[in-house]
Amino acid sequence: MATREFGREERVGSELQRELALLLRDEVRDPRLGQVTIQEVRVVRDLSHARVFFTLMDRDQARKTEQALNRAAGFLRKRLGERVVMRTIPQLHFEYDHSLEHGMRLSSLIEQAVSDIGDEADRDAPDATQED
């Protein structure tokens, strides 16, 4: 079975991710958007729309930041058109990426379960210092 190379959507998504990160860093003056990290850009097959997943240091600001990014989408799309060689630039739809929070929560649950199993094993193990 042949390995599948990155498809067109993945290549375009990677390029858009890279350029959006640079635009947010260098050209957007909204202070709410200064701490945004673009995690992933998923482009639909016909390249007409792109879901842009982002994270923040302060997740309490996620909703406001998402709104600000979606308001700035037209400006960002126009600037992308000046930087990326494509026939048309996809419509941008920004979404807060909850996957990191879910991952940290799962990791914490796993650590707690392993700790609980270790504690239980310690209680059930015979005391090596006792002699018959």
List the chain pLDDT tens, one digit each, 132 residues: 444 556 889 999 999 999 999 999 988 888 778 789 999 999 999 999 999 999 998 888 899 999 999 999 999 999 999 999 888 999 999 999 987 776 777 778 888 888 888 777 777 766 655 554
What is the Cα gyration radius of the chain?
23
As a whole number of angstroms, the distance between CA 123 and CA 132 comes to 19
* Global confidence as pTM: 0.74
> Are 19 and 83 within 8 A, CB to CB?
yes
Q: Which of 56, 62, 45, 47 is nearest to 16 (CA)?
A: 47
Select the CATH number that applies to the domain covering 8-98 from these four: 3.30.2350.10, 3.30.300.20, 3.40.390.10, 3.40.120.10: 3.30.300.20
